[in-house]
Amino acid sequence: MMILLPLLLATGCTPYYRSADDGASAGQVAAPAARAASLQRTARLSGGGTVTVGPGDTLYGLAGAHDVPSRALIEANRLDPPYLLTVGQRLELPRLRLYRVQAGDTLFAIARDFGVEMHALARLNDITPPYVIRVGRDLILSDRAAGSVAGAAAAPEPVASTSLPPPATTPDNPPAQRPAEPAFAAPSDPVAAATPPPPPPRQGGRFLWPIEGGEVISRFGSVGGGLFNDGINIAAPAGTPIRAIENATVVYAGNELKGFGNLVLLKHADGWMSAYAHARQVLVAKGATVQRGEIIARVGQSGNVDTPQLHFELRQGSRPVDPESRLAAARG
């Protein structure tokens, strides 16, 4: 599972939502902050009016010819699969404000530049965690015909005026209740007004493994199809203790982002951050200080996974780091 954490906002880190070229390797993707900031972005208007279906026309062909995303054309005309058209049929071309994704783009940077709210932009375009956006994709910024816009103007970094709700733990999602394509429901802004205390000094050189035993089922880096895993996934029996890899302050503990399930974010000294997702149970609260090796949660399958596992990320500032390059050689 490729997880790119918007909750890094809570620590002052720049959020990073990676775009990827199909078939590109990790080395071919630009550094997120610098590349995204340097891009020149221009929106365009497309669609508007109607078109009459002629012989040989297809929905996807008409969408391309009139610069309208096929999904927008389907929804505007309430078409049903398999989207067969008849000669003489009139189709409405929705008037849209679009932006075409460039290499190095991030969803956050696009939303910021066009003055839209990032989570609303994600919902409008059916983009779910981990918010991977492919180069060449047309993102809908607003529907001019309907007058709807992807959220109100956003500040460069969204800040909530109230603190997070108390940490909550939900039971693992039964697979039968999990939708085939889970929709992202934007939580309240994950930046708290109260600043967590600074993290305590680190104890050791290398970090501890977050769980004892288990099997790494997905490694850091390219996983094919232009997608990247910014951490590792470790399969382990449900209930296995999840331990803090180093002394830290808890900057987030909750379940507001459905794709992550029960999630803990720890801030360590020297600019390090660690993230622990899909827990069955969270055992710490935001603002708490935890010690190296302390149990902070238990392995589960909450969020968008079907088997018990831990998704673990390690970051230096906002930069994702391969956890296995920094974890102790021996587990436990």
Each residue of 181-237: pLDDT tens digit? Answer: 232 233 333 333 356 788 999 997 899 999 998 999 999 988 766 678 889 999 999
**179 pLDDT more than 70:** no
DSSP helix/strand/coil, 91? strand
One-letter amino acid at 249 equals T
pLDDT of residue 266: 95
**88 pLDDT more than 70:** yes
pLDDT of residue 128: 78
pTM: 0.49
Measured CA distances, 258 to 64, 69, 183, 285 (Å): 34, 27, 8, 19
DSSP helix/strand/coil, 270? helix
For range 289-311, the mean pLDDT:
94
User: Could you say which DSSP state residue 134 is in?
Assistant: E
pLDDT tens, position by position, 29-63: 333 445 555 678 888 888 788 999 998 888 888 88
pLDDT tens, position by position, 107-139: 888 988 888 888 888 888 878 777 788 888 889
- Report the alpha-carbon angle 260-71-106, nearest 5: 45
pLDDT of residue 59: 84
Domains of the chain: 48-94 (3.10.350.10), 160-325 (2.70.70.10)
Q: For residues 65 and 140, what is the distance between their CA atoms, to the nearest angstrom?
A: 17
pLDDT of residue 190: 35
